[in-house]
A and B are shown apart, each in its own frame.
Chain A
């Protein structure tokens, strides 16, 4: 409501007082009750029919003037200043203490519309939209405009306005406030620049990066994270997807790595560990690659909890691989044993205290049948053959243990002595534990018992299946089965292998293995050169193998 204080607006203000004023009032007010009220000081204004206006009595006039002064002084304190526009939206007034420091002077805007004023941040379309608002007599708020002041500095103002109407509801123009928001805008621009810089840096990283919240949902992923999308496990995890779910859902050869990665990330999220590291191998249409995944706790505040980064380290791995013979099976990539990875965090932590990483070398015999088992082993990236010896014959392979299993399972079944020979086939690392310590831990941990009973059962079934397989199936099918099983345990399509050795393992004559390998090679399922086997067509090889592979794989 805008008071039409014409009596107040005179400059200098002329008070409605004096004998002349009193006479005028008495002339206007003749009725008894009205005069009485005036004498009692209960009246603020008297109507004057001659001028069609209200005459304020001195006391009321003084009070309203004080009100106005108060508003003015508050306005002087604020960062805002006021403006008024006429019916044609031209500025007619521009007041307030802050207006001087704004860099916008009266002559810049008085008599001009906002469109003609030196503001240059709005397009024609913006202006038309604003003009429409004015024609609707709408109130507008926080219209942000940019101009260049006389010193050549860029300034920003925020303008709000409302329409004004006279007593007959006729549109009189607009009035409102203006505020200098240059500083805020400068800070905003700076912040945006910094954010853009940070984002560009994030995207320019050579490694793939995902930032996860406590539920494992990807809240940020950098550009490279979407580029080698064919790189297997967790490759295609976009912002908004759940990284842990993708790992949990991994199938086939990726299941073990998926479980290990998910467990590791959950551990970091739970605060149990500041860092998780996992190396693994996966196959993509572009070929096999080694990946190095690291999850670190996010130190900042907010939703983000874990940063997962992944790097293709195939090149480094190739350089690291020691040349020459002595390694029957190439070193695989995974650093985690899946039996251990499957344990709940608490159980795993307790077990970890007694576990020691050791390197097992090709040809090393961990125990012979009848030997007391001194240690149990959880292979990380080595492969161990379990062989049964029969007098007068070569040892026959009855089991193959990689990172999916454990050596020394007899201990868990209450047997202290070995029933097979454990021969290291592929050099690599394993976690070793003292047998006595293991016995104690095994009794304490139900999840460990569950995992190992399940594993023991699978091993038993595998041995049964292998026995039947060795008796009934062709050498070619058995060679195919063994290659596939080794591939799964090594995590690689390529590994060194001699035909003599394979013949020994399978308990057949060397010539039988040669014929079988030759047949598989002619069908382009494998290639064989200089002691190295390479699986070219896994699906084809599966078809060539006996059904035993499928049975054992699914155990």
Chain B
């Protein structure tokens, strides 16, 4: 677990509650590094402070990842709000990440 953030501040009509996510990575491996960077950029742009992110290293705690039903890393899961969602890969496809997180992309 690397970082947790939580602060109430809505930035758009789509985001009214805190989004809780878990990102599963394999230490410092290239796709894992990329996934962390991509997700941080997306959160900064669309969620501001309205999110909680837990980063789990499967090399350190593999049993935790298995228990959570993770098959490959990097994987991102949205825990809440419902519905739960999962996306795999290095999160470079921004629109599918936003879709999985239930964030509507602004029209501008």
Residues in A lying within 8 Å of B, measured CB to CB? 1-5, 28-29, 31, 33-34, 37-38, 40-47, 49, 52-54, 56, 59-60, 63-64, 67, 167
Contact = CB atoms under 8 A, between A and B. Distances in A.
Interface string B58-101: 11111111100011111000000000000111101000000000
B93 to A, nearest CB: 9
Contacts of B27: 1, 3, 5, 64
A44 B26 contact: yes
Nearest to A2: B60
Contacts of A63: 28-30
A37 B92 CA distance: 11
B58 A45 contact: yes
23 contacts: A1-B27, A4-B60, A4-B62, A37-B88, A41-B31, A42-B90, A43-B88, A44-B26, A45-B58, A45-B59, A45-B72, A46-B72, A46-B73, A54-B58, A54-B59, A54-B62, A54-B65, A60-B29, A63-B28, A64-B29, A167-B60, A167-B63, A167-B64
Contact of B63 (A46, A52, A56): A52
B20 interface: no
Interface residues of B, number: 28
B72 A43 contact: yes
A44 B71 contact: no
A384 B10 CA distance: 97
A52 B71 contact: no
A64 B28 contact: yes
B32 interface: yes
Contact of A67 (B28, B64, B73): B28
Given A31-B71, A33-B88, A37-B88, 17 more contacts: A3-B27, A4-B60, A29-B71, A37-B72, A40-B89, A42-B90, A43-B31, A43-B73, A43-B88, A43-B89, A44-B25, A44-B29, A44-B30, A44-B74, A45-B72, A56-B59, A63-B30
B85 to A, nearest CB: 11
A38 B72 contact: yes
Given A33-B88, A47-B70, A52 B60 contact: no
Contacts of A52: 62-63, 66
Given A3-B57, A34-B88, A44 B31 contact: yes
A141 B22 CA distance: 34
Nearest to A49: B66
A42 to B, nearest CB: 4
